[in-house]
Amino acid sequence: MESPIIMTLDAGGTNFVFNAIQNANEILEPINFQSNAHDLDLCLKTIIQGFDTISKQLPQKPVAISFAFPGPADYKNGIIGDLGNLPAFRGGVALGAMLEEYFQIPVFINNDGDLFAYGESKFGMLPEINNRLKTKGSSKQFNNLFGVTLGTGFGGGLVNNGKLYLGDNGAGAEVWLMRNPLNNNSFVEENISVRAIVREYQVASNSNGADITPFQIFNIGLGKLAGNKDAALLSFKKFGHALGQVLAEIVTITDSPIVIGGGLSDAYTLFAPEMLLQLNGKISDLNGNAINRLELQVFDADNDRSFETFVQGELTQVKIPFSLKTVNYDPLKSICVGKTRLGTSKAIALGAYAYAMDKLKLNC
């Protein structure tokens, strides 16, 4: 029997990119269409045309369509709400049902943060971490993963015991709305986003009118581009501070490794130190006594020395009461955090593929 094929879509505000995946590999050259975001009928016809063009190039009929689409949305029922970057979508658009009726195959739509985490859990960071642990002789293995995407906005997704956690309303892991630790009256995306990096640099460098990009600020911070290096480093430090505080809240609940994607993940070297400092920092009780911020310790999967300590743990042996026997005991509870292994777009596509295969009860 031929391996199943899933058709996918990378939906942006300007362009729609269509492809198909078989055996966890994209099997065609991507096909690009303008999104026509200003006109709903034209936009929907473009989506149909894109999948139609893909399907005609396939060696067999696809078994499903699966892709990420911006929210707010009722993802379970495939209904898209009022979108900021696709303004034609207003009042609820039954996109999933439309595609199912036209192509006569199941259609699955999800949030990009969810599919990013799912793709990394199946084909990226999670299996890599577990393989590295096994290779080094550790018995420790992980079954859960939290993924965050850092870019225009701040997205998230949770994989729990191999399954994508969506919540009862399909609104699980909407981390962008968490309280901002740097400004209690705002949501955290205000300090974890492209606009935050630019704003903080402009304030710190007194260049409020300057037209500058996060990539330029990153290179200024590295000393590769002329500019205010101290301001650039400070902007990424504040970014890492906010991210570390929020991730600490998240892993208090999830007790899971963390994978970081999105365009700003490329600046990992500039924000990760402060992020890890917050994750492994202290808080206090009402008497001022310091306690660890987390019950577990967070290690850097992209730092060899840190990962080696993570692997070794603090394994010891303890005696069984009233017995001569002993059992292994590692008192160090730990997780690791690291950058995307697949690249954000590929992780989302593979997450969409894996999600469809799981729902259809097929092996991927």
Contact indicator for 303, 261 with CB cutoff of 8 Å: no
Main-chain dihedrals φ then ψ at residue 281, nearest 5 degrees: -85, -160
pLDDT value for 192: 97
Q: Is 290 exposed, middle or buried (0-12, 13-18, 19+ CB in 10 A)?
A: exposed
Nearest-angstrom CA–CA distance, 265 and 334: 22
Question: Domains of the chain by range and CATH?
Answer: 5-110 (3.30.420.40), 115-338 (3.30.420.40)
Nearest-angstrom CA–CA distance, 296 and 159: 19
pLDDT value for 38: 86
pLDDT value for 190: 97
Tell me the pLDDT of the chain (364 aa) as tens digits.
Answer: 689 999 999 887 788 999 999 999 999 999 999 988 889 999 999 999 999 999 999 999 999 999 998 888 899 999 998 887 788 888 889 999 999 999 999 999 999 999 999 999 999 999 999 999 999 888 899 999 999 999 989 999 999 999 999 999 888 999 999 999 999 999 999 999 999 999 999 999 998 767 899 999 999 999 999 999 999 999 999 999 999 999 999 999 999 999 999 999 999 999 999 999 999 999 999 999 999 999 999 999 999 999 999 998 888 899 999 999 999 888 899 999 999 999 999 999 999 999 999 999 988 7
- What angle in degrees, to the nearest 10, is found between the helix axes of 194-205 and 214-221? 60
Q: For residue 83, how far is the Cα from the chain centroid? A: 20
pLDDT value for 21: 97
DSSP 31: E
